[in-house]
Amino acid sequence: MPMAPARACLLLALVLAWSLPLGSCVADQGAGQPAPRQTVAAPAAPAAPAPASPATAGPGGDYCAPRYLPQMPKELFLAGERVPLENPLVAESLDREFTIAVHDQAQVVMWMKRAQRYFPHISARLKSVGLPDDLKYLAVAESSLLHRVVSVAGATGPWQFMEATGRAYGLRRDAYFDDRRNPEKATEAALGLLRDLHKSLGSWSLAMAAYNCGERRVRQEMAEQGVRSYYDLYLPYETMRYVFRIMAAKLILENPSAYGYCLPDDVLYQPLPADRVRLNLAGNLHLRSLGQATGTTVRMLKELNPELMTYMVPKGVHDLKVPKGQGTGLAQRLAATRLEPAPVAAPAAPEPPAPAPAAGRAPAEDAPPPALGPREDSAAPAVPVAQPPAPAQADGPAAQVSQAAPGPPAASMPQAAFAPAAATAPQPAPPLPNASPEAKKTIVAKGQAKREWTVKGGESLSGIARSLGVSVAALKQANGLKSDAIKPGQKLLVPLK
């Protein structure tokens, strides 16, 4: 049936209205027709940025800002021995210690400043006794060339001697003096110990490792593992890093400008000029009185003589250093000095705190380790020392003073490092100290000797070992005992577990 004309027109109008855009009806507004309501589309959301990659993080989109990353050498010798850098484990160990050290700017700057003061003397002594110059970097790794630093185990001084080992190599330790803190005396002892370790073990890398963990431990590990190279040995964690820390110090300090460290000469610490004098005291002399007689302060005297443990120099003969030019005429200036009466106990002098890792702060995985030297911004109290009674005062002249001879002194008192050498004929170098066979029995690695035990009546070696939590074999080995026989009053060295 054909559609009615009216219905056909209506349907056509609906189709056209549906298909035309809404805006096309705006022209009908002038004709009195209501304009259809316009709809405004919402703005499109911005596209999420693509995650940045290291290659596109720079201002140019594909530019990465350069960072100073110094490269390790392709070849390295330590104390004349080639380091096998072709071994990946060796290369990575050196890379770790070198990267940590070279980016610790404050520490490297302090190394450079102190090296100017102490290296000339150490290098001269190494040369005079025929040892490699690279051994001086061991003192950097041990203490950062700080002479009052004390380790957790009790090692002290620039070469970090334990008391038993230091005593075996001629370093005095009593209520008034600790020669481990004297840079010159400790250097003599360290060179003697390193020479003996090299002679025993056959290489400088092994000698340095034994300096850290003890010759006995190194020999035990060599026998257990069947290898004779430091670079192939599995050793205590600290010792496996130790020699590489020495290498890192060598690389940086041999050529600091190659790694961006350039310091003018006037900021480097120069040697402290001093006269060496010999005091023959009839009684105790307070450092305040010695300072007044030499025109200086107690602080300067303690800096020139860091081995002094108190404010008192006891009765007897002592070699000390005083400011340059003050040694002449010192006897006359001290003649009127009143010596101090002998106290019941020598007063402990307040010492500056010994650098150590800061409390309450756990080191990061690659934080500079303590063996690279104590941090400049950390401190811990020094180990207290028991003070025995002071020597009694004697009759006679208060003090006799003699100027130290310009020639080379004995090994127990090496030539002053801080005074210009006198113009004399060349003299043979003083011999390095040797440890006696008896003393060598008590030489132990740093951290292995904890304290002494005095045997009481009725005690047995096995009972002491059981009460202290150590083995009988360890006690016998630490004290050089061939049997279990002990007697009351005997002193035993107790190793750490």
| Short-list 375, 366, 451, CA closest to 149 | 375
**Distance of alpha carbon 481 from alpha carbon 494, whole angstroms:** 13
On whether both 332 and 218 belong to a single domain, the answer is no
Q: Is 292 within a domain?
A: yes
Q: For residues 219 and 284, state if they share a domain.
A: no
Beta bridge partners of 474: none
Identify residue 387 by its one-letter amino acid code.
Q
Q: What is the mean pLDDT of the chain?
A: 77
- Helices assigned H by DSSP within 444-497: 461-468, 472-479
The pLDDT value given to residue 352: 44
Shared domain for 241 and 290, answered yes or no, is: no
Q: Are residues 277 and 260 in the same domain?
A: no
Q: Which residue's entry shows tokens 């850290």? A: 212
Cβ atoms of residues 129 and 429 within 8 Å: yes
Q: Which of 206, 233, 264 is the last residue of a domain?
A: 264
Choose one of 205, 240, 264: the last residue of a domain.
264
Residue ending a domain, among 247, 264, 281, is 264
Q: Tell me how far apart the alpha carbons of residues 98 and 244 are, in angstroms, rounded to a whole number.
A: 8
Tokens encoding 28: 């009908």
Regarding whether 198 and 89 lie in a shared domain, the answer is yes
Positive or negative: CA dihedral 433, 437, 442, 446: positive
Residue 43 lies in a domain: no
User: How far apart, in whole angstroms, are the C-alpha atoms of residue 181 and residue 262?
Assistant: 30
- Residues 100-123, mean pLDDT to the nearest whole number: 97
Q: Per-residue pLDDT averaged across 361-369, rounded?
A: 35
In tens, the pLDDT along 84-99 reads: 999 999 999 999 999 9
| Residues 276, 210 within the same domain | no
What sign for the dihedral angle of Cα 409, 269, 133, 435? positive
Domain assignment present for residue 11? The answer is: no
Label the pairing between strands 81-82 and 77-78: antiparallel
Reply yes or no on whether the pLDDT at 136 is more than 50: yes
Residues 143 and 374 sit within 8 Å (Cβ to Cβ)? yes
Q: For residue 115, give the nearest of 135, 99, 137, 97 by alpha carbon.
A: 137
Does 143 lie in the same domain as 111?
Answer: yes
Q: What is the residue range of 299's domain?
A: 272-348+388-404
CB distance 478 to 449 below 8 Å: yes
Structural domain includes residue 18: no
pLDDT category at 433 given cuts 50, 70, 90 is: confident
Summarised one tens digit per residue, pLDDT across range 18-61 is: 555 444 444 444 444 444 555 555 555 555 555 544 444 444 55
Q: Alpha-carbon distance 480 to 483, whole Å? A: 9
Structure tokens at 12: 């056509």
The number of domains in the chain is 3
- Maximum C-alpha span of the chain: 154
**Which CATH number do you get for residue 106?**
1.10.530.10
Q: Which residues pair with 316 in a beta bridge?
A: 281
With beta carbons less than 8 A apart as the criterion, state whether 441 and 420 touch: no
What tokens were used for 308?
A: 């002094």
Q: Which of 167-176, 204-213, 375-384 has the lowest mean pLDDT?
A: 375-384
Pick from 347, 360, 362, 356: which is nearest to 381 by CA? 356
Domain of residue 452, CATH code: 3.10.350.10
Per cent of the chain over pLDDT 70 is 64
The C-alpha atoms of residue 440 and residue 436 are separated, in whole angstroms, by 6
316 domain residue, yes or no: yes
Predicted local distance difference test score (pLDDT) of residue 50: 53
The answer as to whether 415 is a domain residue is: no
Instruction: Answer for the pair 494, 470: CB distance below 8 angstroms, yes or no.
Output: yes
Beta-ladder partners of 402: 278
Lowest-confidence region among 10-19, 405-414, 463-472: 405-414
Q: Which residues pair with 453 in a beta bridge?
A: 492
Query: Do 287 and 197 fall into the same domain?
Result: no
Q: Which of 26-35, 130-139, 280-289, 396-405 is most confident?
A: 130-139
Q: What are phi and psi of 263, to 5 degrees?
A: -115, 135
Q: Tokens representing 388?
A: 């025995």
Q: Do 124 and 203 belong together in one domain?
A: yes
Q: What is the mean pLDDT of residues 71-81?
A: 94
Residues 238, 90 share a domain: yes
Contact present, 217 and 445 (Cβ < 8 Å): yes
Whether residue 177 sits in one domain with residue 118: yes
Residue 452 forms beta bridges with which residues? 493
Query: Of 244, 272, 120, nearest to 187 (Cα)?
Result: 120
Residues 244 and 281 in one domain: no
Q: Which amino acid is at 123?
A: S
Q: How far is CA 385 from the centre of its chain?
A: 22
Two tokens, residue 303: 């800096």
* 126 lies in some domain: yes
Residues 150-169 have pLDDT tens digits of: 998 899 999 999 999 999 99
Cβ(272)–Cβ(304) under 8 Å? yes
Answer whether residue 37 is part of any domain. Answer: no
CA distance 497 to 494: 9
